[in-house]
Amino acid sequence: MADEHGRKWDRCLADTAVKTVTGISVGIVLSVLFFKRRTWPVSLGSGMGLGMGYSNCQHDFRSPYLLHGNMVKDQ
């Protein structure tokens, strides 16, 4: 169980890194292609990537505490 924490962290960091890099790259591509080499798409992309990674990480860490409910329809 303790390992899981470490594993989570690994996943999380990896995931965040991947997303950030992806975001940066998408930003670079976009900025190169459409936004005349401005920096804002890069930061946007990185921010988005970070944010997504953060969110995923948080969700991953939260997942044990999330409750899933089922709606029961009256028949």
Partner 1 sequence: MLRVFLRGANTKAQKCLYGRAHPTNLQHHRHYTSGESSGAAKVVAVGLVTLGSSIGGTVLYAKWDPKFRTAVEKNIPYSDWLLGMALGPNPYSPVTAHKKQVELSQPPSMMTEESRSSKIKKEKNIKEEPSVSTASETTSAPVYSAQSIEESSAEASHIISAISEVPSVPAPHDTEAAVLTEECKECHHHGDTPVPAMVEAVDSMTEGPLKERPAEEVTARLAQQEQEDQDILASVSASLEESLASSAKTTLQAIGAQEAALQAIGSHTHKLKEAMEAEVPPDQKSAQWRDLETALAERRSTVNDAGAALLKARDALDSLRSVIDKAKESKVAAVQPLVLAAEENLHSMVVDLDQAVTKVQSAESEAKIVSQYTELVNEAKRQFQKELSSLTPEIQANWKGLTGKLSADDLNALIAHAHRRIDQLNRELAEQRVREQVHIEAALEQQKLEDQKALDKAVHTATQHSKEEARLEQERKLSELREVMEAEMRTQLRRQAAAHTDHLRDILKVQEQELRSEAEQVLNSKMLEQETHYRQLTQEQLDNFTLDMNAAYARLKGMEEAIDSHVIAEEEARKAHQLWLSVEALSYTLKTAGSDLPTKPLESAVQAIQDSCCNNEFALALASALPEESLRRGVYSEASLRSRFNSLRSMVRRVALIDESHNSLYQYFLSYLQAALLFEEKQAMPPTQLTNEDLDPFKLLSYASYCLEHEDLELAAKFVNQLRGEARRVVQDWLTEARLTLETRQVVTLLSAYANAVGLGTTQAP
d(CA 20, CA 46): 5
* Per-residue contact flags (x/-) with partner 1 for residues 11 to 50, judged by CB under 8 A: ----------------------------------------
Q: Which of 36, 65, 68, 71 binds partner 1 (CB under 8 A)?
A: 65
Check binding of 57 to partner 1 (CB under 8 A): yes
Helix ranges, the chain (H): 2-33, 40-62
Check binding of 68 to partner 1 (CB under 8 A): no
Q: Which of 17, 45, 64, 69 binds partner 1 (CB under 8 A)?
A: 64
Check binding of 51 to partner 1 (CB under 8 A): no
Nearest CB to partner 1, comparing residues 64 and 69: 64
